[in-house]
Structures are given as structure tokens and as C-alpha cells.
Amino acid sequence: MDLVLLWVFLPLVTVAWGQYGDYYYGPYNYGDNDEWANVYRQGFNFQCPHGQVIVAVRSVFNKKEGSDRLWNYACMPAAQSLGEPTECWWEEINRAGTEWYQTCSNNGLVAGFQSQYFPSVLDREWQFYCCRYSRRCPYSCWLTTEYPGHYGEDMDMMMYTYDYYIRGATTTFSAVDRDRQWKFIVCRMTEYDCPFQNV
């Protein structure tokens, strides 16, 4: 009798587990702990593989290294309902030492970061690499809490829910601490084409 119950419930458990996996991103593989997208005081360019978007950002601060940070990112494939990216581009560059607000234009999703360090201001310029998926539009957008919680702290931001995507960020800049706090702009995307070019 026990084998019959196992035979009946095993497929149900397998299907339920597979569906659960679609709605939760597990632990991210950033690579080895020593593997960063940059070294201190140097520029870097990080792009997700084609069809993937940024889902996690990790960073550590070091005042002795020019008040700079090491950065690492994790990517995941976008939902199948979005299809393949139809175009990708680099957004405008912010200026070092100033606050920054940037959303991917043309309803794009963040698929990469580019940054250059400027020792004269002990800060970085930033630029998003964005990808558009057909004519999908964002909705249910919100800002995350601040990352890091305080200037000079380590940062570890993860998207815990499937079908939410990073569309941009707003940052503050402390002239005293020479560091930034980030709030990421997170949205869901429609599963159908919409008539709006830029929401």
C-alpha cells in the first residue's frame, strides 16, 4: 500500500516543486568570493548573457582604497513570456559626485552596468545596459529600500520574486563618506504588447 501512495504522490510533489521554482529565485551564483566585476579604483563593464537580466547586486566598501567599492552581479533569464530581447543599448552616464536617477528608456530592463572611477571626487560614474523585450510595458513599479542601509556598509540586494525586474535606480551621494546608497526601481512587465513607447 505504501508503494502505491508513493507512486501517486511523487508526481504531484514533483510538479508542485517545479512550479514553486518558477516563483522564487534561489541563492545566486556570484562565482567565487574573490571574483568581482572590478578592482578598486578601476573602471568595469558587466553585461548579462543575451536574454538575461540583473537580479542581484553585491558590493563591499573600502575607505582605504579611495572610498571605492568592489561590485558583483548575478543574472537570470527573463521569463519566457517576454520572449527574446529585441534591442539593447547603453543609457546616459551620470556624473561622479552627484545624486543620480535613471530608468531604462523605451521600457527596457537592466541587463548590465558600466562604471568609471574618478579619484578627484572619490566616486564613480555609472551607466546602465538596458534591453527591451518586444513592446512589453512595466507596471506595479516600486522602489526597494536603501542599499546599503548606511554609507560604508556592505551591500547585498536580491530579487526574491520571479517576474519582477530592475528597471533603474536612484542614488544619494554623501560628500562626507564618499559613498552612495541605492534604491532600485523594480517593476513587473506585461505579457502582451502595449502601445506605450516609454512608461
For 96, other C-beta atoms within 10 Å of its C-beta total 19
Q: What is the pLDDT of residues 146-177, one digit of tens each?
A: 999 999 999 999 998 888 999 999 999 999 99
Q: What is the pLDDT of residues 50-68, one digit of tens each?
A: 999 999 999 999 999 999 9
**Distance from C-alpha of 126 to C-alpha of 119, rounded to nearest angstrom:** 15
In the chain, where the domains are located: 27-189
Place of cell 578627484: 120
Contact residues for 153 (Cβ-Cβ < 8 A; gap 6+) = 61
Q: What is the pLDDT of residues 17-44, one digit of tens each?
A: 333 333 334 444 555 445 899 999 999 9
